[in-house]
Amino acid sequence: MPKYVIEREIPGAGKLTAEQLKAISQTSCGVLSKMGPQIQWVQSYVTTDKIYCIY
């Protein structure tokens, strides 16, 4: 199964609360589910100004 990394630039990402990060991830997963049910989120990494998501 191929793996992909999506880099999202979000200024201040490292200062977001767990609730805010959850809301962002739910939005992303909603978009992906419309693209195809075979796309699955694996893990995300948060840095100061970016979020990297593994799919």
3-class SS string, the chain: CCCCEEEEECCCHHHCCHHHHHHHHHHHHHHHHHHCCCCCCCEEEECCCEEEEEC
pTM for the full model?
0.80
Measured at the alpha carbon of residue 55, what is the angle toward residues 42 and 4, in degrees to the nearest 5?
135
Residue 24, pLDDT score: 87
Residue 18, pLDDT score: 93
Per-residue pLDDT tens over the stretch 12-43: 999 999 999 999 888 888 888 888 778 888 99
**HSE-up of residue 37 (Cα within 13 Å, Cβ side):** 0
Per-residue pLDDT tens over the stretch 43-53: 999 999 999 99
Residue 28, pLDDT score: 83
Question: How many C-beta atoms lie closer than 10 Å to residue 53's C-beta?
Answer: 20
Q: Give domain limits for the chain.
A: 5-54
